[in-house]
Structure 1
Amino acid sequence: MQKGTLGYEEALEAVIEILRSRARKGAAPISYGDLSSELARRGHHVPAHEGTMPYLLEDASVRESPDGSLPLLSALVVLKDTGWPSSGYFKLARRAPYKRPGDDVLLWTREIEKLAEHYATR
């Protein structure tokens, strides 16, 4: 699956839908593997830790918050072994226009809280 193709756009919409749904239900994180499995159930074969997954997650966050004013959906996706987002999430959260402050713990904790709050009524 290549970025910019119809298949990629359809997978991106599925990622956004899955993550919005989780955010509405209290913003419980999901592992890369579980997200990959859920995408596969919907007909999108995206390996958990390679290929297009990092691009899909970044694009999901950018599409939902292009100006940085809304919480980043990709905060919900975590590594199974650690229960934490990958370094790619923290890089995205700290670059313009997002520029989230704080150390990793504070940054991520705030983002999860903001996701739950923002999507609670959506």
Structure 2
Amino acid sequence: MQKGTLEYEQALDAMIEILRSRARGGATPIPYGELSSELGRLGHDVPAHEGPMPYLLEDASARESPDGSLPLLSALVVLQDSRWPSGGFFKLARRTPYKRPGDDILLWTREIKKLAEHYADH
């Protein structure tokens, strides 16, 4: 699956809907494997820890918050064992235009809270 193709865009749309639904339901984190399985059930082959997954997560956050003003959807996706986001999330959150402050714990807990608040209204 190549970025910029119809297949990629359809997988991105599906991922955004899965994550929005999760955010509306109280922003309960979802492990990579479960997200991969949900995408698979919708016809999108996205392995949990390789291929397009990190690009799709970054693009989901960018599409929902192009200027950095809204919470990042990718905060919902966590590693199965630690129940914690991967390092890629924290790199993204600290980049322009997002520039989220605080240590990892503060940054992530704040982002999850903002997701729950923002999507409760949608």
Q: TM-score, normalised by structure 2?
A: 1.00
Amino acid at match of 2:90: F
Unaligned runs of 5+ in 1: none
What is the distance in 2 between the residues matched to 1:111 and 1:75? 7
Which residue of structure 2 lines up, in the alignment, with residue 12 of structure 1? 12
Displacement of 1:68 in angstroms is 0.2
Structure 1 runs of 4+ off > 2 angstroms?
A: none
SS at match of 1:109: helix
Unaligned runs of 5+ in 2: none
SS at match of 1:33: helix
What is the distance in 2 between the residues matched to 1:11 and 1:42? 9
Which residue of structure 2 lines up, in the alignment, with residue 50 of structure 1? 50
Which residue of structure 2 lines up, in the alignment, with residue 119 of structure 1? 119
- For this pair of structures, how many residues does the alignment match? 122
Q: TM-score, normalised by structure 1?
A: 1.00
Which residue of structure 2 lines up, in the alignment, with residue 40 of structure 1? 40
What is the distance in 1 between the residues matched to 2:115 and 2:75? 9
SS at match of 1:7: helix
Displacement of 1:121 in angstroms is 1.3
Q: Map residues 94-105 of structure 1 onto 2, 5 A cutoff.
A: 94-105=94-105
Task: Give the aligned CA root-mean-square deviation in angstroms.
Answer: 0.3
After superposition, give the CA deviation of every residue in 1:24-65 in whole Å (9 maximum; x if it has no partner): 000000000000000000000000000000000000000000
- Identity of aligned pairs, percent? 81
What is the distance in 1 between the residues matched to 2:95 and 2:109? 18
